[in-house]
Amino acid sequence: MPPAPPRENPGTASAAVPPQPAAPPAARAGREPGQGTGAEPGFEEDSHPTLLLRAVAPRPHPLRIVAVVVALVLGAGLLGGAAAGAWLTGDSADSAARAAFDDSRALWRDLPVDELFPPELHSEGAGPGGAERRWLRVAVAPDSDCATALGEDLAGALLSGVGCERAVRASYVDDTVTSVTTVGMVFTDADPAATEALAERFATGGLGLRADLMPATYPGPGTAAETFGAAQRATWTVRVLTDAPVIVYAVTGFADGRTADAPQAATEAVADGQDTVVALAGLGHEAMGVADRVERTIRQAADRFTEEHG
């Protein structure tokens, strides 16, 4: 009998002959590798699905919460402060306007006469057809009560409910000494609301067109205006200012003392197509021009006085 093969040492067999790799598992029927649902390309679908967990936001840090609350509080405070500031600013503006309105009531006493009634008035377009006009002051009346300055009838119709602080007036002639004009300012006791109501009543009631409500004249003794009396009044204008407790008026006639048979309101005398004596002589333009200049000076003085005295 042939000799038996030598017995191998169990401890060296695996090192001498490497093991054969196991055969790959058979692919599943009908599916190529990497075509499992949701699998990455080149990988088979895992037959043991894993549990997908939803991401949970980390809890905010307490300091962050405090910062958000502080920001909200500060934002609300800023908004509230802005609203309060706007309210206070508006209230301050109203108070300043009311103070300026009240301060202008004393301008007749606080301003020099040359500011109230300048020695010379000038306008480049106040005459008929836009002609240049110039007027010279010839007389200034002492301050007086309103009934004396305006006349009883006009004072009764105009000042009801507004009272009278004081009245000032002066007389002017044009540079050819053809016309004479008395211009005046009445300072009332009215507040802004009463002043607005007076202006509305005067305008809608047509009081400025009534010849029986013409203002009084100031015939300065020894001047070119000394013959300017009630019978010489030919035209007039009356303005109720609303930004100050002041009424500005002017009344005009011929400087030679002739009487006016048919007085006409200045607003009518300056209208196109008028052929009355007053209109043709340009007296309506004289009254309007002098009143405009004096109204402008009192407005400028009020603005300057307000700025200087806060």
What does 153-183 look like in DSSP terms, one character per residue? HHHHHHSTTT--SEEEEEEEEETTS-EEEEE
For the stretch 151-186, what's the b/e string if a residue is b when 16 or more beta carbons lie within 10 angstroms of its beta carbon?
A: beebbebbbeebebbbbbbbbbbbeeeebbbbbbbb
For the stretch 68-79, what's the b/e string if a residue is b when 16 or more beta carbons lie within 10 angstroms of its beta carbon?
A: eeeeeeeeeeee
Q: What is the DSSP-derived secondary structure letter of residue 111? A: S
Are the beta carbons of 135 and 119 closer than 8 angstroms?
A: no
d(CA 309, CA 183): 28
List beta partners, residue 249. Answer: 184, 238
Please give the structure tokens belonging to residue 198.
Answer: 């007076």
Sequence letter at residue 90: G
pLDDT of residue 96: 67
Which three-class secondary structure state does DSSP give residue 235? strand
pLDDT tens digits, the chain, 310 residues: what are they? 455 555 544 444 444 445 555 554 444 444 444 444 444 444 344 444 444 434 444 555 566 655 555 555 555 555 555 555 555 555 565 676 677 788 888 888 888 999 999 999 998 766 666 678 899 999 999 988 899 999 999 999 888 888 999 999 999 999 999 999 999 999 999 999 999 999 999 889 999 999 999 999 999 999 999 999 999 999 999 999 988 899 999 999 999 999 999 999 999 999 999 999 999 999 999 999 999 999 998 888 877 766 765 5
Q: What are phi and psi of 134, to 5 degrees?
A: -145, 140
Is 0.85 topped by the overall pTM? Answer: no
Kindly report, residue by residue over 201-226, the tens digit of the pLDDT. Answer: 988 999 999 999 999 999 999 999 99
